Each structure stands twice: as C-alpha cells, then as structure tokens.
Amino acid sequence: MLRAIILVVALAAGSLAAWLVVSMQSGEAPAPQAAPVAKKPALEVLVAAADLPQSHVIAAKDLRWQAWPKEALTPTLISRSARPDAASALVGSTVRGRFVAGEPILEEKLGRGMLADMLPSGKRAVAIRISAESTAGGFILPNDRVDVIQSMVRQDGAQSEYWSRTLLTNIRVLAIDQTADDPKGLAVIGKTATLELSPSEVPVIVAGQAAGPLSLALRSAADGNESRLVAPEGGTVRVLRAGRSEIVRVQ
C-alpha cells in the first residue's frame, strides 16, 4: 500500500513538473525579426538607345532611361529624378558628336536651331550686307527664296552710267542677322542676310559684294522648285535727271 502511494505521488510530481515546463515555454515572447529594408528608388540617367551618328536628328525611339550607380552620377549626366521630361524635350535636337548605344546623353554634344545644323550637306552659308531698301522693304524672312541683284555705277565726266545684273536666282535665305527661324512670320529688318549657297556660288557672291551693293528680290513661294539660273543680259536705257544724262544698263 505504501509503495502505491509513493508511485502516485511520484507520477503527480512528474506531471506537475512537465506542466510547468510547457507553461514556461508557451509564455516566452517570440524572437524579434529584422525589419525589412526599404528599397531605394533606382537612379536612372538618359542614354542613347542605339548608335547615333553625327548630324542625326533625335527621335523619341533614340533615347531611353537606364539604371546608373549613384556614386557615378556627375552634373553633366541627365537624371530622371532631376529632369523627368528630358527624353521628350530633346526630341528634334541634332547630334553634334556621335553616341554609341548605352552612352549617357550629354547636352553639350547636341544642338538645336544652330546654323550649321540647318545647312544641308555640301552647302555653305555666306552673309551679305543688307538694308530695308535692299530686302523688299524688310519683308524677306528666313527660308524665303530670293534673286541676288548687283548694282554698279561708273562715272565718265558729267555722265554717270548705272547698271545692274542678276548674280544668282532662287537662293534660300538662312537667316536675317541672327534670326534663323521666326514662327510668328514677322518682318525682320537687319544688317546682314545669310544665304545658302553651293561651293561654286560662294566666289560669285563674295566678288559681287566687293564690286557693288547687293539687293535681294523676293521670289514667290511657288517658285521654290525652279532651277537656279542667271537672268539673260539686257540692254541700256538713257535717263535724264536734273539736266544730267545717265545710262542705266539692265541685265
């Protein structure tokens, strides 16, 4: 009987000890977990999407954003965080220095509205002196087509001989002074007109300007496709002015 009582007490003590261990384990607080690290937004810079040769005009497909190390970012690079609209703003620019695919876009290698960018391949830009009187009252604008007229005078005693000749026809005006594009179409009265010429036409204009003043005759926009011709020679006209006889030669 005594043994049975001791066995029951031992079992009860063991059960109590096991219950206490389980209770203590269930009451422990869970181990703290590390807080998730917030991902920093990726730094992106504007790069060439393909090889871009010199004189290429930028289109939307030529540019893309590319991830870039923050420690490698320099002030010359165009970042998306600083200029999110740069990809669209640079469309229409001209490449002045070639880019390879993946190369960061540098604005110093792009141009927009510069005279050299407007010149077709093989053409030259030459400036001549003008006035409102020699440019159709100042109504000649960039991109108009003109004929270049040279006026000359020769004194022979009391008699003056005047004549004019057409040096070139159907010439495109690139700029008036430093205005190469006027979207409002307003008259520009300047002191110089820059003409688009072929290499063989450059000496004609330079020599003509040295020999006498040049005037520009505005052509109709419908004549833009006409070939460049020199007007045929004409004759002479005698004009009496204030008692003086003048011979005007027309070409």
CA terminus-to-terminus distance, the chain = 151
Query: What are the residues whose beta carbons fall under 8 Å from the beta carbon of 25, sequence distance 6 or more?
Result: none
User: Given pLDDT bands bounded at 50, 70 and 90, which one contains residue 181?
Assistant: low
Position 46 pLDDT exceeds 80: yes
CATH of the domain at 48: 3.90.1210.10
The answer to whether residues 89 and 202 belong to one domain is no
- Structural domain contains residue 13: no
pLDDT at 201 > cutoff 90? yes
Q: Is the residue at 185 inside a domain?
A: yes
For residue 80, how many other CB atoms are within 10 A of its CB?
A: 19
- In a shared domain, residues 225 and 164: yes
Instruction: Measure the CA–CA gap between 69 and 45, rounded to whole angstroms.
Output: 10
What is the identity of the amino acid at 97? G
* Phi, psi dihedrals of residue 96, rounded to the nearest 5°: -95, -20
In a domain? residue 71 = yes
Are residues 197 and 74 part of one domain?
A: no
Q: Are 149 and 165 in contact (CB under 8 A)?
A: yes
Same domain for 232 and 212, yes or no, is yes
Average pLDDT of the chain, as a whole number: 77
Q: Is residue 9 part of a domain?
A: no
Asked whether residue 246 is domain-assigned, the answer is: yes
Instruction: Indicate if 125 and 170 belong to the same structural domain.
Output: yes
- Among 85, 112, 139, which residue terminates a domain? 112
Residues 108 and 125 in one domain: no
Rounded to whole angstroms, what are the CA distances from 42 to 45, 65, 71, 106, 172?
A: 10, 11, 13, 20, 49
> Based on the domain organization, do 84 and 148 belong to the same domain?
no
Same domain assignment for residues 65 and 124: no
Please provide residue 142's backbone torsions phi and psi, each rounded to the nearest 5 degrees.
-55, 140
156 lies in some domain:
yes
Residue 234 has pLDDT above 50, yes or no: no
Write down the residue that tokens 């030459």 correspond to.
126
Looking at the fold, whether 226 and 144 belong to one and the same domain comes out as yes
Which domain does 98 fall in, by range? 44-112
Same domain, residue pair 59 and 133: no
Count the Cβ atoms, other than its own, within 10 Å of residue 76: 10
Question: 4 in a domain, yes or no?
Answer: no
How large a percentage of the chain has pLDDT more than 90? 29
Rank 40-44, 83-87, 95-99 by mean pLDDT and report only the highest. Answer: 83-87
> Do 91 and 162 reside in the same domain of the chain?
no
Q: Are 96 and 110 in contact (CB under 8 A)?
A: yes
Q: Which of 177, 91, 87 is nearest to 141 (CA)?
A: 177
pLDDT of 189 above 80: no
Same domain (yes/no): 170, 215: yes
Domain tally, the chain: 2
The contacts of residue 233 (CB under 8 Å, 6+ apart) are: 165, 251
Domain end residue (candidates: 112, 131, 147): 112
Q: Is the pLDDT of residue 58 over 50?
A: yes
Q: Return d(Cα 57, Cα 113) in angstroms, integer.
A: 11
3-state secondary structure the chain: CHHHHHHHHHHHHHHHHHHHHHHHHHCCCCCCCCCCCCCCCCCEEEEECCCECCCCECCHHHEEEEECCHHHCCCCCCECCCCCCHHHHCCCCEECCCECCCCECCHHHEECCCHHHHCCCCCEEEEEECCCCCCHHHCCCCCCEEEEEEEEEEEECCEEEEEEEEEEEEEEEEEECCECCCCCCCCCCCCEEEEEECCCCHHHHHHHHHHCCEEEEECCHHHCCCCCCCCCCCCEEEEEECCEEEEEEEC
Overall average pLDDT of the 151-173 stretch: 82
**Domain presence at residue 10:** no
- Indicate the residue among 60, 89, 112 that finishes a domain: 112
